[in-house]
Amino acid sequence: ASLLAGGPVSIYYGCDPTSDSLHVGNLIGLLVLRRLQDAGHRPVALAGGATGMVGDPSGRSEERNLLDDATLTANVAAIKAQMARVLDFDDGRALLVDNRDWTVDVTFVDFLRDVGKHVTVNQMLARESVKSRLGGEHGISYTEFSYMLLQAHDYLHLHRTLGVAMQIGGSDQWGNIVAGIDLIRRVTGDAAHGLSWPLLTAADGSKLGKSTGARIGLNPAHTSPYQFFQHFMQTDDRQVGEYLAKFTLLPLDAIDAVAADHASQPERRAGQRRLAEEV
C-alpha cells in the first residue's frame, strides 16, 4: 500500500495464450490493472508467448498439451486485442508486451547461468504447485517444473528494462510471483513487490479457467453476449457485492449502495442485473 501511495508505479499482469480468448478470471486481473491505471499508475500487460509454450503447472493436476507456433501466434494476437478493450494504451499510458521477444534468443546455457544459478531446487520443490503435482498420479515434467523460472525471468527483465516494481495475479500465481521477487533481489539487490487475490471458483470448488471448469470467455464467438449476461445474472446473492467490486469500475460507495439495495429485496435481482449490465 505504501508503494502505491508513494507515486506512479509500473505494474505487470500476465496471461498465457493457451486459448484464443481470455476468460472471466483474467478479467479480474485486467480490471485491477485498469483501476491502478485510473489511479495514475502504469500497467504492463504481458501476453505470454514464451511461457505459453511451456505450460504453467499452477492449479492443474496434469500436463498441458503443447501448442504449435502458429496457434500460439494467433492466440497472442487475440488476447492482445482483448487486453486493449480494457486498458488505455494511448501515448504509452499502458504497455503491451510479449515475453517471446526477450526469451526466444536466450540460450539454455545463458539461462542456467543467469537465472538457474540463483534459484535452489529446494525452493522450487517447496512451491505448492509443484508439491501437489509430485504427489499426483501424473507427476510433473521438467518443462512445467521450469515454468516458474521463466516467469521469474520475465519479472527480472521487466524490472530492468521498464522499472516494473510490482507483479499481480491470482493466488495460484503467488509462488511464481515470489520467485520473481526473490530473483530480482538476488541479481540486482532491489526490492520488488507482489499482489494477489483469491481465485474464482465453480460451484464444486474447482478453478475457473479456459481449460478447466466453466468456460466463460471474453470472445463472443466462444460465449455469446446472452450467455455472458446470464452468467452474471446467476450470481449468488451472497456474492453480489464482491462481484461488483471485482468485475466493474463502479466507485466503492456506489457498490455499497447497490449491494445494500439488493440485500433489502434480493428477489428483485436488482444487484445481479446491475452487475451484468456493468460487465
Q: Which of 155, 277, 171 is nearest to 225 (CA)?
A: 277
Cβ–Cβ < 8 Å for 83, 30: yes
Cβ–Cβ < 8 Å for 118, 22: no
pLDDT of res. 205: 63
Rounded distance between C-alpha atoms, residue 237 and residue 234, angstroms:
9
Q: Taking the alpha carbons of 35, 4, 169, 151 in that order, is the dihedral positive or negative?
A: positive
Helix (H, G, I), strand (E, B) or coil at 16: coil
Give the bridge partners for 168, in sequence order.
195
DSSP 201: B
The strand ranges marked E within 100-199 are: 164-170, 193-197
pLDDT of res. 187: 96
pLDDT of res. 62: 57
Spans of the chain, pLDDT less than 70 = 55-65, 201-214
pLDDT of res. 213: 35
Tens-place pLDDT, residues 175-185 = 999 999 999 99
**CA-angle at 93, arms to 90 and 99, nearest 5°:** 95
pLDDT of res. 211: 42
In the numeric block, which cell numbers belong to residue 48?
505470454
